[in-house]
Structure 1
Amino acid sequence: MNILVTRPTPSANELVGYLRRLGRKAWAFPLIEFFPGSQLKTLPIRLQELGKGDLVLILSRNVIHYAELILTSKNISWPKILNYYAIGRSTAIAFHAATGYKIFCPNQQETSETLIKALSTQTIKGKNILILRGNGGRNLLRDTLLGYGAQVELIECYQRCAKFYHGEKEGKRWRQKGIDTIIVTSGEMLMQLHCLFTDIDRKEWLLKCRLIVISERLKSLAKMLGWSNVCVSNGSDNNTLLNFILTYTY
């Protein structure tokens, strides 16, 4: 198994390091990079406007990195009176490390659907909710919460931007490395991966690779794009992905 990790830096390098120390062949190939979001400067005042028991939903640990930068610069702390929810384990760990606060996260796959299931209508109705995320993405979470009677605002805390690569050169490089397994953790990256390489590389190599994704939704998208060998990890944090790879049999 020769593994290509497409998640962003530093997570990609971290996972590759774990795999190599365990004797696995792995390389980092980050498809996106991050920058401060267009609405990040509004975060301090929006947090301070919330009342006791209102909710903050954090959809990525990248949110915490950029939120901490702006809050620290304003000498403002995350309000203790709010209820915090993370989309997954790695995000929850990062938030707790930064604040020491309790934060809830689902134990299932890190998706909007599982987060919605974890929120009862009694918890949501009549509440003000901030959704902290990156640019783009689905609006399923916002639309569902609005339907439950909440007041919802999205704040773009960071931006995802595609990294530029020369598709023909990269196809040659990874085929020479014998890459046969690719880890992809978002639909955006999956689409980018599919479009990056030449038609012949896509047909002869890319679509024959095994994909490891983090949700059934991504698996369905991968199948639609032409992959046949797709398996689903039950989480997107590096420890979960590492354990999945180490226990995977094929």
Structure 2
Amino acid sequence: MTKKTIMITRPAHQAGALTQAITSVGGEAFLFPTLAILPAELTTENKEQLQNLNQYDFIIFISPNAVEYGLKQLQANTTLPADTLLATIGQGSAKILTEMLGKQPDVVPKENFNSDGLLATQAMQNVANKRILIIRGNGGREHLKNTLEQRGARVDYLTAYQRIKPASDTTDLEQYLQNNQIAAIVITSGTSLKNLLEMTPANVTAKLLNVPLLLINKRLINIAKEAGFSSDLHVAPEASDEAILDSLKEHQYL
């Protein structure tokens, strides 16, 4: 029986567990990172924020990378105030924060592991006059900040990491697409999808657009459709390796 090939577009340093999970159930994982993560240089404003962390009622970590890179910057420059509440959007971020700090975040969505899920938590309802620091990567959506400000909060950003398009050898990608070997592609962000399209050789773009996608949130469906993807678009319930693997099996890509 031919192994089914799943293409993973996560940054290389974050793809190991999912790659192993796919191979453990008899699939083949083709790693083609469409994002690379680098630490961001702190601005003068960021350094002032870190020196005055006790002014914040909440610190929100937007992603696992925000936890990893943000906490390193916090720990290198200051001490976390005991009474500042820590929030993460997803369970993966919560797990990393717990491993790095030895304590669980104070606020995590119970479902819908995205900005709307966090905004729906009880802690984010009455935030008038609260000071909130959002730790994130460069760019990103403004939805969380805008909504919190509409609720009366004062919100600042700290950019802890940069997402860049990596230089990649596309020889294997071209071969997999030419031979119709990819059962599904796992996409975890709009930037990752955009970069994939830009990195794919023009002679196999049409084949790429016919490959099914497994996405980690419903917002990516419209982005994929606008980009021209015409095959099946499925959404995993969350971005964890377990949820992605279960969805791949549910839709018979593994």
TM-score, scaled to structure 2: 0.87
Deviation at 1:161, TM superposition (A): 0.8
> 2 CA distance for matches of 1:119 and 1:20?
40
RMSD: 2.3
Which consecutive residues of structure 1, in runs of 5 or more, have no partner in the other structure? none
Look up the match of 2:39: 36
Partner of 1:245: 248
Paired position in structure 2 for 1:227: 229
Aligned to 1:217: 219
Instruction: Report the AA paired with residue 22 of structure 2.
Output: L
Report whether the alignment pairs 1:88 with 2:90. Answer: yes
Map 1:161-180 → 2, pairs under 5 A: 161-167=164-170, 169-175=171-177, 176=179, 178-180=181-183
CA distance in 2 between counterparts of 1:148 and 1:13 reads: 40
| Compared CA separation, residues 41 and 96, structure 1 to 2 (3 A) | farther
Shift of the 142–174 alpha-carbon distance from structure 1 to 2, 3 Å rule, reads same
1:151 aligned partner: 154
Q: Compute the displacement of 1:46 (Å).
A: 2.3
Give distance in 2, aligned partners of 1:52 and 1:77: 13
Q: 1:202 aligns with which of 201, 205, 211?
A: 205
Q: Is the 8 A contact 1:56 1:83 kept in 2?
A: yes
What is the identity, as a one-letter code, of the residue corresponding to 2:195? Q
The CA deviation at 1:90 is 0.2
Paired residue secondary structure (1:30): coil
Aligned to 2:119: 116
Structure 2: stretches of 5+ with no match in the other structure: none
**Counterpart Cα distance in 1 of 2:20 and 2:104:** 30
Mapping of 1:175-190 within 5 angstroms? 175=177, 176=179, 178-190=181-193
Contact 2:58/2:131, CA 8 A, preserved across alignment: yes
- Which of 144, 150, 160 in structure 1 is aligned with 2:163? 160
The residue that corresponds to 1:21 in the other structure is: 24
User: Does 2:144 align with 1:141?
Assistant: yes
Is the CA contact (8 Å cut-off) linking 1:40 and 1:157 kept in structure 2? no
Distance apart, 1:113 and its partner CA: 2.2
Which deviations, in whole Å up to 9, do the C-alpha atoms of 1:138-192 show, x marking residues without a partner?
111111111111111011001111112355x344232247112100000001111
Distance of 1:30 and 1:106 partners within structure 2: 28
Task: State the Cα distance separating 1:102 from its structure 2 match.
Answer: 3.2
The alpha-carbon distance between structure 1 residues 27 and 73, as it changes in their structure 2 partners (threshold 3 A), is same
Deviation of the 1:69 alpha carbon = 2.7
Give per-residue Cα distances to partners, 1:188-242, cap 9 Å, x unaligned.
0111112222343111x11111100011100111112122310000111212212
Change (3 A) 1:223 1:232: same
Residue 103 of structure 2 aligns with which residue? 101
Is contact 1:110–1:214 with CA below 8 Å preserved after alignment? no
